[in-house]
Amino acid sequence: MKDYFLKLLNYDKYSNLQLTDLLFSANEPQNAVGLMAHIISAKQRWLLRCKELPPPSDALWPDWQAAQFKYLIEEGHQAWVAYVSSLTDDDFKRIINYQNMKGETMNDTLSDILAHLINHGTHHRAQIGQYLKLAGVEQLLVTDYIFYVRQQTQQ
C-alpha cells in the first residue's frame, strides 16, 4: 500500500503544480486561487490529524497568494512523502481519531483518509479548471491520473 499511496501523492503534487502554472497565465482568478489555497491547507490539516497533532492555526479556506503555492505544494509533498514512507503495512489499517471542522470526533482508517485526501484534491482541481476556462484559458492541461501514469511510464 505504501508504494501505491506514494504514487498517488506524486500525482497529486504534479497536478497541483500544473494548475498553479495556469493560475498565473490566467491572471490568478480569485475563485481558483481560493480553491488551490484550500487544497493545500486541507492537506496540511490532514497530515497533522494523521500524526495526531493539534490542528493548524490557519483557516481551512486561507487567503493565500498564488505566488506562495509552488513552495507550499513542494513543502507539503515532502512532509507527506516522509510520513507515508515511514509507515508499515499495518499502519494503513490504523484508526485515526480526530475532530472534524464542526468539532465532532471522527474515526477513520489511515488508508481511507489517504484516499479521501487524493479525491479531495481531484474534486477541487476540476472546479479550478472550470474557473480557468471562465477566465479565458482555452486549453487546460490534462491532469487525469491515467495520463500521469502513462507519462511516468514513458520516462
Query: Grid coordinates standing for 129?
Result: 479548471
Does 38 appear as a known binding residue?
Answer: yes
DSSP 108-138: EEHHHHHHHHHHHHHHHHHHHHHHHHHTT--
How many CB atoms neighbour CB 104 within 10 A? 8
Cβ neighbours for 38, distance < 8 A, ≥ 6 positions apart: 60, 61, 62, 124
Cβ neighbours for 2, distance < 8 A, ≥ 6 positions apart: 84, 85, 87, 89, 92
How many CB atoms neighbour CB 61 within 10 A? 12
Does 123 appear as a known binding residue?
Answer: no
Binding positions for a divalent metal cation are 38, 120, 124
Binding positions are 38, 120, 124
